[in-house]
Amino acid sequence: MKTCTRCKATKPLSEFYARKSAKDGRESHCRECAGEKVRLYHATHKEATKAYKIANKERSSIVDKAYRESHKAETKARTSKWSKLNLERRIAANRESRKISRREWSRANPHLVCQQAAKRRAVSRQATPKWANRFFIQEAYHLAALRTKLTGIDWHVDHIVPLNSPLVCGLHCEANLAVIPAKENLSKSNRQWPNMPI
C-alpha cells in the first residue's frame, strides 16, 4: 500500500505507475491523479500544443518513423502478445466491424441486395420439387430464427447438399435442410457436403 502525494488516498501499489528511480519503484502520485494532471495540462496548453505540432510536423514524422524502424521487433512482439491475450475481444470487434460494413454496403447498394435476393429465390424455386413439404421447410426457418433469439448468436438454415455448386446441385426440400450456427454455415460455403467425392 502507498499514499498518493496529491489526493492523499492510500492505495495498492498497482494503482501507481512504475518509476525506476524511486525507492519503491513507483510514482509518488496515483494513476488517477497522473491522468488528471495530463488532462489539465492538455486543456490549458491546447493551442500551444496544436501550434507546436503544425510547426514541427516534418520533424515529428521523421522522429516517429525512426522510432518505429528501431523498435520494429519489439512492437511486433508486443502486438502479438496483446493479440493472443485479447483473442475473444478481437473476434468480437471484427464481427461487429464486418456487420457494420455489411450494413453500410447494403444501404449504399440496395439494387445489388435485391438482385442477390432475387437470384437466391430463383435458384430455390427451381430446386424445389413438387413433393417438398413446405410446412417442414417453413419450420426449419422458424427454428433458426428462434435459436438466434434465444442464444444470441446467428443460426442459418443450411442446404446440406448445396443448391448451386460447380460439382453438384441439391434440392430445396426438408430432407436437405439443417439448422446450424451461421459461423459454421458461412465457413463451408458451397464447397462441402456429406460423402462428397475427394
Distance of CA 93 to the CA centre of its chain: 2
- Which pLDDT score is estimated for 192? 67
**End-to-end Cα, the chain, rounded Å:** 65
Distance of CA 25 to the CA centre of its chain: 37
Report H helices in the chain.
31-44, 46-55, 57-70, 72-85, 87-108, 110-126, 134-151, 182-188
- 68 or 3, which is more confident: 3
What pLDDT, in 10s, does the model give residues 119-132? 777 777 788 888 98
Specify the DSSP element, H or E, that contains 3: strand 2-3
How many whole angstroms separate alpha carbon 177 and alpha carbon 156? 10
Which residues lie below 8 Å from residue 115, measured CB to CB, with a gap of 6+?
none
What pLDDT, in 10s, does the model give residues 97-127? 888 888 898 888 888 888 887 777 777 778 8
- 48 or 136, which is more confident: 136
Specify the DSSP element, H or E, that contains 2: strand 2-3
How many whole angstroms separate alpha carbon 150 and alpha carbon 147? 5
110 grid coordinates: 440496395
**Domains in the chain: boundaries:** 2-65, 129-188
Mean pLDDT score of the chain, rounded to an integer? 84
Reported confidence tier of residue 13, pLDDT bands at 50, 70, 90 = confident
- Whether 85 shows a pLDDT value over 80: the answer reads yes
What pLDDT, in 10s, does the model give residues 29-52? 899 999 888 888 888 888 887 888
SS (H, E, C) 166-186: CCCCCCCCHHHEEEEEHHHHH
